[in-house]
Amino acid sequence: MDLQELIPPRHVVRVVNEAIDRIPDATFEAPYAGGGRPPYHPKMLTKVIIYAYTQRIYSSRQIAKAVREQVPFMWLAA
């Protein structure tokens, strides 16, 4: 199943995705010193958080639930 087919072309989740993709990777990777368990990609987390805020979801637990249950969040989190 391709989640991309379930999201309309002009949906706000696509706008958030494109806007964050324009930011260079070096901006996100600079603060990470390395070591420990590999982190989730900071771009992906930024996309999910910004999209959550557009949907008026501010709680980390509610964001985690949305990633498990809502198609646009699943698509962003790949």
CA–chain centroid gap for 72, Å, is: 9
- Going by pLDDT thresholds of 50, 70 and 90, the confidence category of residue 75 is very high
What's the pLDDT at 78? 87
AA letter at 36? G
Q: What is the rounded end-to-end Cα distance, in angstroms, of the chain?
A: 12
Tens of pLDDT, residue by residue over 10-65, are: 999 999 999 999 999 888 877 777 777 777 888 999 999 999 999 999 999 999 99
Residue appearing with tokens 């958030």: 16
Phi then psi dihedrals of residue 39, to 5 deg = -80, 165
Look up the pTM and report it.
0.87
Which residue range(s) make up the domain with 71? 3-30+39-77
Q: Which of 38, 40, 78, 45 is nearest to 63 (CA)?
A: 45
The C-alpha atoms of residue 58 and residue 47 are separated, in whole angstroms, by 14
What's the pLDDT at 31? 77
How many domains is the chain partitioned into structurally? 1
